[in-house]
Chains A and B, each alone.
Chain A
Amino acid sequence: DAGVIQSPRHEVTEMGQEVTLRCKPISGHNSLFWYRQTMMRGLELLIYFNNNVPIDDSGMPEDRFSAKMPNASFSTLKIQPSEPRDSAVYFCASSAAKYYNSPLHFGNGTRLTVT
C-alpha cells in the first residue's frame, strides 16, 4: 500500500524564490492536510481540504502561502516569495474522513531551507 507521497524531500532555495511542495494522498482518502513543524512552534496546521475543497485555511501564515487541490490525488503548497523564516519541515497528511475516528497518515515531509 502506497502511503502519502511528498516531493521534494529536501528543498534549499534563496529568499525571494518561489517554492512549490507537492503531495499525493492515500488513494480513497478524502481529507488532506498541510502541516508545518519547527522546533519553536511544533506542529502547526496550515490548511485542510475535504473532498478537494479548502475547509480551514486559518493557519496559513500570510498571503505568500497558497494551497490547491485540483483533484483527489494531488495537492500543492506554494510559497511566493519565500523568506528565511519559512524554513521548516512541511508535512502533508491524509485521512478517510468518511469513517469516524479515522486517523491521519503522514508523508515523509519536505525539509525546506530558505537562505
Chain B
Amino acid sequence: RKEVEQDPGPFNVPEGATVAFNCTYSNSASQSFFWYRQDCRKEPKLLMSVYSSGNEDGRFTAQLNRASQYISLLIRDSKLSDSATYLCVVIRYGQNFVFGPGTRLSVLP
C-alpha cells in the first residue's frame, strides 16, 4: 500500500460545480499536510496548507481528519482555470515530504 493515496480521476465537472477530493495517508505519525496544484508541463505550486481545524481560502476549503487519516479539498464554484492535477502532500517527519500521485480535474464549459 502506498503511503499517500489519491483517486487519480479524471474528475470532469461543469463550470460552477462543487467538487471534492480525498487523500488518505498510512503513517499516523504524519505531521503536516498540504495541497499542491500542478498544471500540465509545469512545476507543482502550493495551493494551501491544511490545518487541524480546517481552513478556507476563497473557494477552496481543506479539512484534516487525523482519526481516519485523510485530508480533503473542496472547490466551490469551479472555474475553467481550476483544471489541473491536485497533489496531496504529507510530511512524515523532519523535512520528509511525501507526495500522492495526484487527482486530475477538468472543468468543462
Contacts and interface: CB of A to CB of B under 8 A. Distances in A.
A42 B97 contact: no
Contacts of A33: 95, 97
A19 interface: no
Interface in A43-89: 43, 45, 48, 50, 55-56
B94 interface: yes
Label chain B's interface by main secondary structure: strand
Interface string A77-105: 00000000000000100010100110111
Interface string A18-39: 0000000000000101000000
A55 B93 CA distance: 12
Interface in B75-101: 87, 89, 91, 94-99, 101
Contact of B43 (A50, A101, A106): A106
Contacts of B91: 101
A108 B43 CA distance: 5
B32 interface: yes
Contacts, number: 46
Contact of B97 (A45, A50, A109): A45
Contacts of B42: 108-109
A78 B42 CA distance: 22
B102 A101 contact: no
A43 B87 contact: yes
8 contacts: A31-B95, A43-B44, A43-B87, A55-B94, A91-B44, A103-B46, A106-B44, A106-B45
Interface of A: 31, 33, 42-43, 45, 48, 50, 55-56, 91, 95, 97, 100-101, 103-109
Given A106-B43, A108-B43, 19 more contacts: A31-B95, A42-B101, A42-B102, A43-B87, A43-B99, A45-B99, A50-B94, A55-B95, A97-B95, A100-B32, A101-B49, A103-B34, A104-B44, A104-B46, A104-B89, A106-B44, A106-B45, A107-B43, A109-B42
